[in-house]
Chains A and B, each alone.
Chain A
């Protein structure tokens, strides 16, 4: 794994510091931390397909749901620890991601039409899941609480989930960093920027897109297991549909689509805002957080279309060209 030393060191230091947070914080702050890192991870996973490869999926909830339901079902039925069930969910989601990718890319479905297909599939999954009684139907599935047992991904205090989520987010960012500097990453960008030109230069664009779709789906499903374990409950609407799908990509878009840290930054900034809003308006109404998300999304699209990091890029570019000039 060859890649630039500096960003990795930065990441290690950052995440190292974040490891210390639970020691100094109350339960609520730790909860926000879990949410931030969970969504940062999910957004990073989405970004590989949506940002790097430029194939904007609006239906990643499908993979989130597959991950959540699979590990929980195996846990309930077979007593299989979610740490293992996670990988089964990941495999199923990877297959689904590959299959959907193959269907779409084979038939040249791209851009808005690809987005529409993914929404349709994610929404269809809601209805299919609602009709399968074995996984709880419309009522959903509950994760049985067996007490504080890290071996089955259940923790007595929120700090346990915090550390797991932090590790997910950390590994996600490291993977994103590595991909960005690898041939795979460059190929994904070339597909995004100009698919025909990429083909003409020896890039197997179909393979690159499929790999991105498979990896992104796989990663998202793993996050689905953490989601299930933390919230201990899921139903078709809370994981499969358009709502969760949009939430995942929101942070990537607002933070900076196609960048390594964009999804993370987006989650770090937005999730606390949403959580705090929800806390202050408890009882007033559910959906305050979504309202804020929607508002920020509209504003960002109007005034900062490349996201927060995208808007800051000119500053870095100036720095970089000064470095090159030396």
Chain B
């Protein structure tokens, strides 16, 4: 049994079909990449898996359990946590308190949640900003915070939505390292990414979407040589030689 199973996932928005019969599996311990041109349906897929949107057809299974119809907070409690493409901090509270919100799903006691949150901040390298208000943090710190919040929920699997967007190459390296470390610690990943360097170097396998359909799946090497994939990205300067 795969950790995450997506089967025939489909979403219609009125006359538009954003995602069509998408199927893939993510095995435990894997880093799976989800790529595709803009508008390919990646975020919609994420939203369906994490419970923010109801699928029109198809099923999502996590550890064998059907997620369709569950609320996002229930899915998080099961061990599947997502981050957001545009960072979504809680602006008026501190970084520590931000992460505590995530920790509370496992620790109902405030002291324990605080301890877990502090540990998590150290893990992502944000401990020195624990008492800063989230609204005062720069983008890179906010990205780390976004991961920290999700991490504090002690997930079995993390869905990262364009975590590298807006970062310079040094910052991207740091995020890359962090994800690798977390993966080594046992967390499974599904990454949506545009920054090819991240996807290609991190992913064990990649699923490629275009116009809502899966057009390729395989290892980074296989996918980067797939003519369908190249055609979809034609005109976009994405592949590092």
Contacts and interface: CB of A to CB of B under 8 A. Distances in A.
Q: Do chains A and B touch in the complex (CB under 8 A)?
A: yes
Interface of A: 2-3, 181-183, 186-187, 189-190, 193-194, 196-205, 320-321, 324
Given A199-B76, A201-B153, A204-B74, 11 more contacts: A181-B110, A183-B108, A186-B100, A186-B110, A197-B88, A199-B72, A201-B73, A202-B76, A203-B104, A204-B71, A321-B131
A190 B90 contact: yes
B88 A186 contact: no
A187 B52 CA distance: 19
Give the 10 A-B residue pairs with the shortest CB-CB distance, closest first. Answer: A202-B105, A193-B90, A197-B88, A202-B76, A199-B72, A201-B102, A190-B101, A202-B73, A183-B104, A204-B73
Interface in B45-101: 50, 52, 71-74, 76-77, 81-84, 88-93, 97, 100-101
Nearest to B106: A202
Nearest to A190: B101
Contacts of B50: 200
Given A197-B88, A205-B73, A186 B82 contact: no
B149 interface: yes
Contacts of A196: 52, 84, 88
A196 B92 CA distance: 16
A202 B84 CA distance: 14
Nearest to A180: B110
B111 interface: yes
B108 to A, nearest CB: 5
Interface in B156-201: none
Interface of B: 50, 52, 71-74, 76-77, 81-84, 88-93, 97, 100-102, 104-105, 108-111, 113, 131, 149-150, 152-153
Contacts of A183: 104, 108-110, 113
A55 to B, nearest CB: 16
B90 A197 contact: yes
B65 to A, nearest CB: 16
Contacts of A187: 101, 104
Contacts of A321: 131
A181 B110 CA distance: 7
Contacts of B91: 193-194
A103 to B, nearest CB: 18
Nearest to B146: A197
A189 B110 contact: no
Nearest to B107: A183
A202 B107 CA distance: 12
30 contacts: A183-B104, A183-B108, A186-B100, A186-B104, A186-B110, A187-B101, A189-B92, A193-B92, A193-B93, A196-B52, A196-B84, A197-B84, A197-B90, A198-B73, A198-B90, A199-B71, A199-B73, A200-B72, A200-B76, A200-B84, A200-B88, A201-B101, A201-B102, A201-B105, A201-B149, A203-B101, A203-B104, A204-B73, A204-B74, A321-B131
A201 B89 contact: no
Nearest to B134: A193
